[in-house]
């Protein structure tokens, strides 16, 4: 590798790849060669930068200029202006708000990044994930070298316990303690497993880490292997993450070639190697016991605990299982020390957490903030608020296992225990923002629909109980809710929570319970008044034409079922018995004469 004066970093995460970043890379290479700059400028495909909303994203160093929503034809301008003549192509630079005229923003000047603290994502969007040398340049494999040459397995475990790192997959169990249990089990073979079966709708931090910094996971698993006495590791990742799988496999191959995996690593006598196992995308396989059954080649169904994996796990051997984001933190903790880690975040939840922002929010993307950051900061400062000036209603954290948090709890600091206390959970870190147009009953129905689909069917409460809850919710959203439905939902939820076999069933009622807790009046409006306060549930809507109508006949012509009648230049009316509530008339009306209620 030679010295280049400028690096063009093009995001190669899944989001930007879908919006065409591969074509951009090709075009950059062509144009750079055309101008004879190929010895001076290097094009690098990186992992996710996080601001997926503005993708495809291109960053040009050394200036750190942040170009957003770049099209293939823009590439010619960037090469001819910025790379050849040193003039930043201002009109292509990311603007936070339209009024920002002086758009010369480098990454650190952007609101989206300013309040972030990137630990797990430190290399994402900075290094070329397919080049092990770049990972090594930014302190990669130094932590593994340190534990193998300077620390005993007990030292490693003690450092992890001291750091207070908790499982980032959602459970929040202290990682060091987990390692201690696995280390204490005696066996001829132990396994270390990485749970990359990211299934929560809207969450994609694990995918981004595997895509943007796969070596950090490999290094951490080797460290974990050393700590608990495992010589083999498995990464269980879903087949629907093709880019992540490809880069991880490439990274494993490179690490083997460098002798960072294999026999006698660093000449210390420590042997460790690891393998990828592909999952078919069943949500339940993210549950650790089901995941291990799936690696074994059996049906992906959970088994009762105890025995815990640390005692009898994969292939009946003691095993330790952590999530991708948890692993991505570990090399940093080893290198910088537990004290550094505990200086970030809160006392009970040290460190940072990555959140995937989605739903009704301006800056859709991936953010990493210190634990204890108030929800309000994440949604308004980093996330840029709600589009279209709409009012914030709630945020769903923790996916189908979590709950909704209403506006009056926006100042809650985000950490494991505070979220649990308000009836939600950290989960893997999906954050789905909802505005005034979202119906909370329908949201609960959506998540329950997901868990009903994904229930493996092994235990009765989850297989049948969640189905019954879903049926009640469907009735309510269709205007067929009955008195007593809420009480039935609550009774079912409580029973399922306390009797389901695994985490999937035990947490499945959470979205219903939390929306009942904070938005009970919406349920009551659906049931008693047959009304959807957010005007979302189709069956409960009524379209009406008001006296603003000028009789232009546009609505009558667009109505697919001829439910609208009226003479030219006279007020029209809708026959509610014929109306299918498609909303076409409302979209078509130029006078705002049609309302739904």
Partner 1 sequence: MKSLAELQAIREKTLGKISMRKDADESTRIVIGMATCGIAAGARPVMLKFMDEIQTRGLQNVTVSQTGCIGMCRLEPMLDVLVPGKEKVTYVKVKPEMVSRIVAEHIVNGRPVQEYTIGAAE
In this chain, which stretch among 85-93, 224-232, 363-371, 401-409 interacts with partner 1, using CB under 8 A? 85-93
Cα atoms in the Cβ-side hemisphere of radius 13 Å centred on 142:
14
- Is residue 1 part of the contact set for partner 1 (CB under 8 A)? yes
- Is residue 249 part of the contact set for partner 1 (CB under 8 A)? no
Shortest Å, Cβ 127 to partner 1: 7
Q: Which of residues 59-78 bind partner 1 (CB under 8 A)?
A: 61-64
* Of the candidates 42, 216, 200, the residue with the CA atom closest to the CA atom of residue 118: 216
3-state SS, one letter per residue, for 124-152? CCCCCCCCHHHHHHCCCCHHHHHHHHHCC
Tell me the C-alpha distance between 230 and 320, whole Å.
9
| Token output for 291 | 């995941």
Shortest Å, Cβ 235 to partner 1: 21
**Closer by beta carbon to partner 1, 109 or else 296:** 109
**Closer by beta carbon to partner 1, 91 or else 97:** 91
Q: Are 364 and 167 in contact (CB under 8 A)?
A: no
* Of the candidates 367, 345, 344, the residue with the CA atom closest to the CA atom of residue 203: 367
Q: Which of residues 16-45 bind partner 1 (CB under 8 A)?
A: 40
- Is residue 458 part of the contact set for partner 1 (CB under 8 A)? no
**Closer by beta carbon to partner 1, 273 or else 449:** 273
- Is residue 271 part of the contact set for partner 1 (CB under 8 A)? no
**Closer by beta carbon to partner 1, 253 or else 347:** 253
Tell me the C-alpha distance between 288 and 284, whole Å.
9
**Closer by beta carbon to partner 1, 261 or else 500:** 261
- Is residue 104 part of the contact set for partner 1 (CB under 8 A)? no
- Is residue 308 part of the contact set for partner 1 (CB under 8 A)? no
How buried is residue 269: exposed, middle or buried, by Cβ count under 10 Å (0-12/13-18/19+)?
Answer: exposed
The residue within the footprint of partner 1, chosen from 18, 149, 542, 597 (CB under 8 A), is 149
**Closer by beta carbon to partner 1, 328 or else 356:** 328
Shortest Å, Cβ 60 to partner 1: 9
Tell me the C-alpha distance between 48 and 13, whole Å.
5
* Of the candidates 31, 98, 93, the residue with the CA atom closest to the CA atom of residue 58: 93
The residue within the footprint of partner 1, chosen from 43, 143, 251, 265 (CB under 8 A), is 265
Shortest Å, Cβ 348 to partner 1: 31
The residue within the footprint of partner 1, chosen from 22, 90, 106, 303 (CB under 8 A), is 106
The β-bridge relationship of strands 564-565 and 392-397 is unpaired
- Is residue 258 part of the contact set for partner 1 (CB under 8 A)? yes
**Closer by beta carbon to partner 1, 74 or else 134:** 134
**Closer by beta carbon to partner 1, 260 or else 333:** 260
**Closer by beta carbon to partner 1, 258 or else 591:** 258
- Is residue 79 part of the contact set for partner 1 (CB under 8 A)? no
Q: Which residues of 288-320 are buried (b: 16+ CB within 10 A; e: fewer)?
A: bbbbbbbbeeeebbbbeeeebbbbbbbeebbbb
Q: Match 């001819």 to its residue by tokens.
A: 80
Q: Match 């309302």 to its residue by tokens.
A: 595
Q: Match 């147009």 to its residue by tokens.
A: 437
**Closer by beta carbon to partner 1, 139 or else 240:** 139
Q: Which of residues 113-142 bind partner 1 (CB under 8 A)?
A: 126-127, 133-134, 136-142
3-state SS, one letter per residue, for 544-580? EECCCCCCCCHHHHHCCCCCEECCCCCCCEECCCCCC
Under 8 Å CB-to-CB from 577, ≥6 apart: which residues? none
Tell me the C-alpha distance between 212 and 46, whole Å.
6
- Is residue 93 part of the contact set for partner 1 (CB under 8 A)? no
Shortest Å, Cβ 254 to partner 1: 11
Shortest Å, Cβ 110 to partner 1: 14
- Is residue 266 part of the contact set for partner 1 (CB under 8 A)? yes
Give the residues lining the site for partner 1 (CB under 8 A): 1-7, 9, 40, 61-64, 84-87, 106, 108, 126-127, 133-134, 136-142, 145, 149, 258-260, 265-267
């Amino acid at each position: 590798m030679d010295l280049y004066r400028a690096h063009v970093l093009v995001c190669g995460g899944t989001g930007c790849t879908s919006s065409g970043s591969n074509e951009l890379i090709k075009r950059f290479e062509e144009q750079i060669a055309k101008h004879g700059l190929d010895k001076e400028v290097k094009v690098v495909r990186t992992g996710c930068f996080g601001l997926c909303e503005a993708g495809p994203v291109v960053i040009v160093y050394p200036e750190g200029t942040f170009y957003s929503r770049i099209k293939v034809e823009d590439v010619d301008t960037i090469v001819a202006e910025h790379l050849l003549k040193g003039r930043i192509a201002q009109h292509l630079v990311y603007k936070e708000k339209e009024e920002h005229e002086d758009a010369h923003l480098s990454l650190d000047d952007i609101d989206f990044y300013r309040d972030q603290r990137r630990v797990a994502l430190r290399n994402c969007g900075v290094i070329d994930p397919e080049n092990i040398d770049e990972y090594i340049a930014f302190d990669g494999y130094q932590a593994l070298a340190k534990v193998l040459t300077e620390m005993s397995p007990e030292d490693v475990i003690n450092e992890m316990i001291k750091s207070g790192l908790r499982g980032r997959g959602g459970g929040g169990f202290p990682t060091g303690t987990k390692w201690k249990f696995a280390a204490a089990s005696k066996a001829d073979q132990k396994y270390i497993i990485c749970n990359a079966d990211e299934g929560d709708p809207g969450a994609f931090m694990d995918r981004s880490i595997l895509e943007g910094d796969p070596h950090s996971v490999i290094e951490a698993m080797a460290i974990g292997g050393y700590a608990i006495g495992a010589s083999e590791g498995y990464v269980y990742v879903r087949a629907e993450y093709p880019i992540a799988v490809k880069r991880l496999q490439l990274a494993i191959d490179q690490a083997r070639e460098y002798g960072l995996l294999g026999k006698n690593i660093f000449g210390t006598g420590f042997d460790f190697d690891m393998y990828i196992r592909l999952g078919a995308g069943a949500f339940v396989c993210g549950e650790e016991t089901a995941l291990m059954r799936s690696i074994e080649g059996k049906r992906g169904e959970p088994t009762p605990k105890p025995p815990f994996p640390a005692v009898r796990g994969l292939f009946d051997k003691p095993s330790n299982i952590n999530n991708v984001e948890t692993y991505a933190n570990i090399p940093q903790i080893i290198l910088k020390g537990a004290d550094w880690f505990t200086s970030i975040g809160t006392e009970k939840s040290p460190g940072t957490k990555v959140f995937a922002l989605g739903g009704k929010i301006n800056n859709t993307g991936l953010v990493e903030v210190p634990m204890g950051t108030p929800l309000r900061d994440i949604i308004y400062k980093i996330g840029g608020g709600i589009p279209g000036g709409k009012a914030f209603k709630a945020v769903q954290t923790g996916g189908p296992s979590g709950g909704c948090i209403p506006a009056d709890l926006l100042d809650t600091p985000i950490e494991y225990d505070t979220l649990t206390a308000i009836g939600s959970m950290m989960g893997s870190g999906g954050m789905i923002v909802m505005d005034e147009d979202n119906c909370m009953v329908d949201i609960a129905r959506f998540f329950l629909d997901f868990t009903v689909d994904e229930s493996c069917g092994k235990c009765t409460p989850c297989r049948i109980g969640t189905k019954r809850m879903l049926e009640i919710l469907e009735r309510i959203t269709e205007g067929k809710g009955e008195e007593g439905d809420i009480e039935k939902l609550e009774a079912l939820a409580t029973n399922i929570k306390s009797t389901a076999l695994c985490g999937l069933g035990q947490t499945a009622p959470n979205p219903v319970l939390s929306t009942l807790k904070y938005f009970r009046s919406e349920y009551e409006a659906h049931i008693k008044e047959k009304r959807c306060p957010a005007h979302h549930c189709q069956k409960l809507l009524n379209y009406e034409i008001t006296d603003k109508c000028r009789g232009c006949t546009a609505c009558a012509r667009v109505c697919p079922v001829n439910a609208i009648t009226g003479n030219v230049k006279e007020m029209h009316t809708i026959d509610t018995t014929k109306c299918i509530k498609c909303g076409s008339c409302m979209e078509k009306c130029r006078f705002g004469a049609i309302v739904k209620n």
